[in-house]
Amino acid sequence: MKYTEFEIISKYFKRNQKKDVNEIKGIGDDSALIKIPKNNILAISTDTLVEGTHFLKNISPEDLGYKTVAVNLSDLAAMGAEPKWTTLSITMPESNNIWLKKFSSSFFKILNKYNVRLIGGDTNRGSLSITLSMYGLLKKQIALLRSNASIGDLIYVTGTLGESAAGLFLLKKNIFIKNVNIRNYLIKKHLNPIPRVSEGMALRKIANAAIDLSDGLIADLDHILNDSQCGANINLNKIPISKVLIDNFQSQNYLNWALNVGEDYELCFTISKKNIDKLKIIKKKFLVNFTCIGYITPIEQGFNLFDNQKKIIFKKKGFNHFD
Amino acid sequence: MKYTEFEIISKYFKRNQKKDVNEIKGIGDDSALIKIPKNNILAISTDTLVEGTHFLKNISPEDLGYKTVAVNLSDLAAMGAEPKWTTLSITMPESNNIWLKKFSSSFFKILNKYNVRLIGGDTNRGSLSITLSMYGLLKKQIALLRSNASIGDLIYVTGTLGESAAGLFLLKKNIFIKNVNIRNYLIKKHLNPIPRVSEGMALRKIANAAIDLSDGLIADLDHILNDSQCGANINLNKIPISKVLIDNFQSQNYLNWALNVGEDYELCFTISKKNIDKLKIIKKKFLVNFTCIGYITPIEQGFNLFDNQKKIIFKKKGFNHFD
């Protein structure tokens, strides 16, 4: 059975989510209405996921529902904002009920996990594409801006890098691995990245600058360097690589994935040396590791990668949709 | 010459718009940051326009840039909100510089006209589709909700209805008209609808409920009736139709366009009889007409259309993307 646009919204996207006192009007009017608590500012991130560009054609509705939310949560995490509300615009070729049921269940599961309420959006017909906007709160003076890195800051990343890219290449059959458990583990790392929301919120009082790693460490860190007018020295041997990658792949592969492919949705942040003790305290609260990979230098020194003492020649490319 | 994603943003979408004190961070970080002035609430509307569904394949970039903004402004107008900021997600098959230049010029022209600042978004590759979110401000108690109509309220529409649909059918060659000036006038009414932003803001203190007319009067008014749990009596002879339509088309055509096709982006609102004098004062401020077309009844009486005294049988359909 096919549903109309309004039936789709009322059947799949009007859920009884936990009530929020700041939501004056959610789904169902010409616009949503929200109140921003005193002394808070609103962080707004928007990301579009297009079939064939941001996800493969055969992605499951559950994985797509999850990823749509995760990548936007990751943007807010990189500001240190607390996620609160979201609007969803979904364009699809037809109203397929089984697909919609699976997509919406997974979508609300991750929203509920992070206490985010769906307050509006629309459904349209066309090739599959999803635009999500995510709204978060934070105090004015403590947003983690890309432009706040200072010379001498240490550069950290959360978690390990490169596994998501390995999963992507396994899905695209660019690489092959015999062990099914490892294969599935890496694919899951690609499809279900964990946005570092609590970590971002914990870091906002002590870190200077932050970005989430979606396009690869080189391209993403380069945004911090450009916006902060700084250089950086990064030690390749310090980049956190999981045992799974080290045991199963060549180092030139996994370093390339970490540096140039991305999709890790880990945070990269800079922090003044005077805050290292505070960082140690924060680290204890999280299961994920924070690893120092280098430090910020004056702009004249540029962006340098070292393999121990040896300087490495590299290109700043990152992912470009219009390549 | 082709540009990368970041070059497109910096070349076409980073403009020196008039500074806004409430914008803490605009384009260029993981999210935008805005401050909401004291005692204000935030209205958020989101609309996706998809090629072939919301606009014809041969639409000019200028008309698309205009319409993208206009339809979202119209949503805010229907709440009585003052538009302030917007985020743009644009998906396109290639980075065509001539197209981008024309689109962005037209896009910023209408943004600047309504004092709206672009604070974020992204660019992607895929079939042409645009998602805009528009952010506006209003006081908490005076939003024009669909759910606030009361029995006895008079029902008004702004402007005239049906011309946009006539323009659409001329473009689609479903109808034909010899006179080139009239043809161009009607097509312009379709491509460049005027969002009733000031009218919506002026009405918020005196009207009870409002919606903008995008899917045809019947379907849109039906949202007010459902959400307010009311009925309505509408007199077809009162529906404002322009002289151009009356002189050039049959009444069954233009009434069908007004009732069932829509795309007029006029406001439909309900107002208590006690506020009629205040409405008369407000009307003087605007060039556009406000026309009373009927009144709100108890829900048991249903939604009725009259041709003078004669009750008309009709279907509540409106536009459905998944028909």
Q: Two tokens at B3?
A: 């540009």
Helices (H), A88-159: 97-113
In total, the C-beta contacts within 8 angstroms joining chain A to chain B are 210
Q: Two tokens at B212?
A: 């903008």
Q: pLDDT at position A282, please?
A: 93
Distance from CA of B191 to the nearest CA of A (A): 20
Which tens digits make up the pLDDT trace of A92-115? 998 889 999 999 999 999 999 999
Which tens digits make up the pLDDT trace of B244-292? 999 999 999 999 999 999 899 999 999 999 999 999 999 999 999 999 9
Which positions in chain A touch B199 (Cβ < 8 Å)? none
Does residue B180 surpass a pLDDT of 50? yes
Average pLDDT on B175-202 reads 95
Average pLDDT on A258-279 reads 96
Does residue B141 surpass a pLDDT of 80? no
pLDDT-derived band of residue B317, with 50, 70 and 90 as boundaries?
Answer: low
Say if A126 is an interface residue toward chain B (CB within 8 Å).
yes
pLDDT-derived band of residue A319, with 50, 70 and 90 as boundaries?
Answer: low
Sheet architecture: strand order including A23-25: A23-25, A32-34, B40-50, B129-139, B82-92, B117-125
Q: Is residue B103 within a helix (H) or strand (E), and if so which, with residue range?
A: helix B97-113
Does residue B1 surpass a pLDDT of 50? no
pLDDT over 70 for what percent of chain A? Answer: 97
Q: What ipTM describes this predicted complex?
A: 0.91
CB contact under 8 A, B45 and A30: yes
Which tens digits make up the pLDDT trace of B58-71? 899 999 999 999 99
Q: pLDDT at position A5, please?
A: 74
Contact A143, B35 (CB under 8 A): no
Does residue B321 surpass a pLDDT of 60? no
- The DSSP secondary structure of B165-179, one letter per residue, reads HHHHHHHTTSS--S-
User: Interhelix angle for A163-171 vs A180-191, to 10°?
Assistant: 110
CB contact under 8 A, A322 and B42: no
Contact B34, B119 (CB under 8 A): yes
Contact B226, B101 (CB under 8 A): no
**Between vectors from CA A103 to CA A83 and to CA A67, what angle results, nearest 5°?**
50
Q: pLDDT at position A317, please?
A: 63
Which tens digits make up the pLDDT trace of A165-199? 999 999 998 889 999 999 999 999 999 999 999 99
pTM, to two decimals:
0.92
Q: pLDDT at position A292, please?
A: 98
**Between vectors from CA B300 to CA B297 and to CA B305, what angle results, nearest 5°?**
55
Contact A132, A68 (CB under 8 A): yes
At residue A119, φ and ψ (nearest 5 deg) are -115, 0
Does residue A81 surpass a pLDDT of 80? yes
pLDDT over 90 for what percent of chain A? Answer: 75
Distance from CA of A309 to the nearest CA of B (A): 33
Which positions in chain A touch B320 (Cβ < 8 Å)? 4-6
Q: Is residue A47 within a helix (H) or strand (E), and if so which, with residue range?
A: strand A40-50
Average pLDDT of the residues of chain B: 92
Average pLDDT on B41-45 reads 95
Say if B312 is an interface residue toward chain A (CB within 8 Å).
no
Q: Please, which residues 184-243 of chain B have a Cβ atom closer than 8 Å to chain A?
A: 210-212, 227
